[in-house]
Amino acid sequence: MCGRATLTKNEAELEEKFGSTFYTEDIARYNPLPSYNIGPVQPLIFINQQDPHHFQVGIWGWTIQIGSLPKLVINARMEDILNKKSFIPHLASGRCIILMDGYYEWMVNNKEKIPFRITSKEGDILKIAGLWREELTPYGLKEKKVVVITRPAQEDIRFIHTRMPLILTQNEEKIWLSGQIDQNTVESYCNAEKIINLHQYRVSSKVNSIRNNDKTLILPDDKPIYYQDNLFD
């Protein structure tokens, strides 16, 4: 899964890099950047199909009804995208690209959970496939919500977690925003043999608390990891 992210660039840097602009009211309302520890129900930056020349701000997670109870959904498995009734209505016009420059994942080592940050090797922005929709707030206002699409993890980071965000190549970006999504597309995007140049490194356990959000969270933690030998090996 993917449940924490970073976007450490500011608005001006993103506008210069992508040639798109932010809506002033979004910046005033959310003040989302830079952020070193983005979690569910916090703002994510995205570009959608209908308005590719503007950055949008969406809250991470959709609320869906499971029986009589509401449930927050933050990720959608690409393998299930054509079959889940929560997502099917939004495939036609709700596709988007979510911007991150890294995400956090926790490796389980015996009973210890060790946080890692995963980025591109070049330090580039990761363009993540996503879906967005509008929901009504308790005050009756419309608010954009987003979910992150995930795929099976590629081999070099599978020791951390078996899932990863669906990071799009340049050609895949165009297909995701404007092309037809069918079973062949799903299989191509989910191919675990498709390798993105990624860099992973251990970070401080301070990232475990969503209350922490500063530059120190993305610094490497060089403490060694001790693996317990299997007594039956």
Options 11, 13, 105, 173, the catalytic residue: 105
Q: Are 122 and 161 in contact (CB under 8 A)?
A: no
Both tokens of 87, joined, read 């997502």
Which position has the token pair 């401080």?
A: 204
Q: Is 13 considered catalytic here?
A: no
Look at the chain and count its residues.
233
Q: Are 74 and 163 in contact (CB under 8 A)?
A: no
Q: Is 96 considered catalytic here?
A: no
If we measure between CA atoms, which residue out of 44, 46, 35, 31 comes closest to residue 218? 35
Which position has the token pair 């952020």?
A: 35
- Helix, coil or strand: residue 126: strand
Both tokens of 145, joined, read 């919500």
Residues forming the active site: 2, 105
